[in-house]
Amino acid sequence: MKQSTLATKIMIGILCAGVLLYLGLYFLLGFQSGLATAVAYSYQVNLGTEATGILVRDEQLLSAQGQYVNLVLAEGERAAAGDPVALIYSDSSALSTQQTIQSLEGEIEQLEHALAAGTQSVDVSRLDQEVVSSIVSIRALAASGDLSDLEDSVLNLRTMVFQRDYAFGDTDAASQVQQLIADKQSQLDALTHSLSQVSQTVYAPVSGVFSGQADGYESLITPDMLDSLTLPQLSSLLESQAPAAPEAVGKLITSSVWYFAAILPGGNDLHLTEGHTYTVSFSHDYYGDIPMTLERVEPGEDQTLAIFSTRTNLADTTLLRIQTVDVVTETQEGIRIPRGALRVITQDVEQEDGTVKQENVYGVYTVVGRQAAWQEVTVIHTGDTFYLVQPVDEEASNRLRSGSEVILNTSGLYDGKVVR
């Protein structure tokens, strides 16, 4: 009996020790799981200044008499001399006629495609499924009131029905489609003839890139004026009220070279150099970085006149005129870390004369395996929420890298401390 009691006590003691060990490890890991970390990664910072300026191009207005206009060319589309640019109608009904013509042209093209595709062998079972799916889709469009794609969906369904009829030996299907094409072509010819009686075509007098927007700046500032343009003149132009838009159906940009005349703050504090290429970053009406060559720079007391030129992105910027941009003069690359990851350690550094001087050393702690590892860095840029850094020793095997896990705001750290 005594032996049984002793054995029971031993078992209970072992069990209690196991429970205490488990609880200890649980709390220890619980505290350590609160370790806050973040991943460092490669990052690029563009440095420069904000500038406001105006786009300057060789532009020729396209004028025509008439209230109702149908543009033939899309914005930014290139036109050769003699190409039609726009159709001018004498009344609003002509616009409706033009829309009917475009619809008929689309239907004829679809029917011709159906006729060509219908005589080819098809998987009938798959085609049946597509017909059902198309009917369901059309019903959903009609129920939702979305009629934007309804016409194309109906034409596509018509094509599949014709293919199905032809596959099942309906020899009259092809002749029915041919007759339908002939009827619609007859309607198209009649409408085209009637439209020609009440419309006027505007042709491109020269080759160029088309824009449907005429804003009145076309004659106020031209590339020929840029050599003599002064800072006060440009400032007055940018601050004045926008001119009235001329009566025109659009314009042609006749040169592939376009300019951006801008005012930068400061007396050329950025040391801009004529002939150098800088990145001009647009971020309002158009988003994109455009490399531009600095043609001319004229520093003033508080502002600087800068004129840039380029041959790229013309079609993307035809609608732009007065813009605020970022002129990038320098790009810095490094490793981005949160502000809370950077630490400062004061160390005694021996000078050449033998004296000892205290200096601040910057670095981060990273997680390597289960331990904290000290990585010394150099700060190259300070952002609102981050630092851009580089390892002091770029060749060290244990240097900070993109993808390293950096430790945030944890006290009591030292190199080699077990943190996991």
% of the chain surpassing 70 pLDDT: 79
- Evaluate if residue 97 carries a pLDDT over 60: yes
For residue 59, pLDDT beyond 60: yes
Residue 86, classified by CB atoms within 10 Å of its CB into exposed (0-12), middle (13-18) or buried (19+), is buried
Output the pLDDT for position 246. Answer: 86
Highest mean pLDDT among 102-106, 187-191, 210-214: 210-214
Class for the domain spanning 49-61+209-330: mainly beta
pLDDT of residue 1: 45
What is the average per-residue pLDDT within 40-48? 91
Taking the domains of the chain in order of start, what are their residue ranges? 37-44+336-407, 49-61+209-330, 92-197
Ranked by mean pLDDT, the top range of 50-59, 96-105, 327-336, 396-405 is 50-59
Specify the pLDDT at position 312: 95
pLDDT for res 92: 63
User: Shortest CA distance to 203 belongs to which of 270, 137, 249?
Assistant: 249
pLDDT at 218: 94
Residue 65 has pLDDT above 70, yes or no: no
Q: Is the pLDDT of residue 2 over 70?
A: no
- Mean pLDDT, rounded, for 355-378: 89
- Residue 395: what pLDDT? 84
pLDDT, one tens digit per residue, over 146-188 is 655 666 677 677 667 766 665 555 556 667 777 777 878 877 7
Distance CA 227, CA 296 (A): 8
Range 240-248 average pLDDT: 88
Model pTM score: 0.64
pLDDT at 30 over 50: no
**Selection from 1-10, 300-309, 389-398 with the highest mean pLDDT:** 300-309
| pLDDT above 80: residue 52 | yes
pLDDT band at 34 (very low <50, low <70, confident <90, very high): low
Q: Which long-range contacts (CB under 8 A, 24 or more apart) does 197-200 make?
A: 198/89, 198/90, 198/91, 198/94, 199/87, 199/88, 199/89, 199/90, 199/94, 200/64, 200/65, 200/66, 200/87, 200/88
Q: Write down the pLDDT at residue 5.
A: 73
Of the candidate ranges 31-40, 263-272, 324-333, 366-375, the one whose mean pLDDT is the lowest: 31-40
- Length reported for the chain: 420
Q: Pick from 346, 289, 344: which is nearest to 312 by CA?
A: 289
pLDDT attached to residue 170:
55
* Mean pLDDT taken over the chain: 83
Average pLDDT estimate for 1-16:
67
Residue 8 has a pLDDT of 72
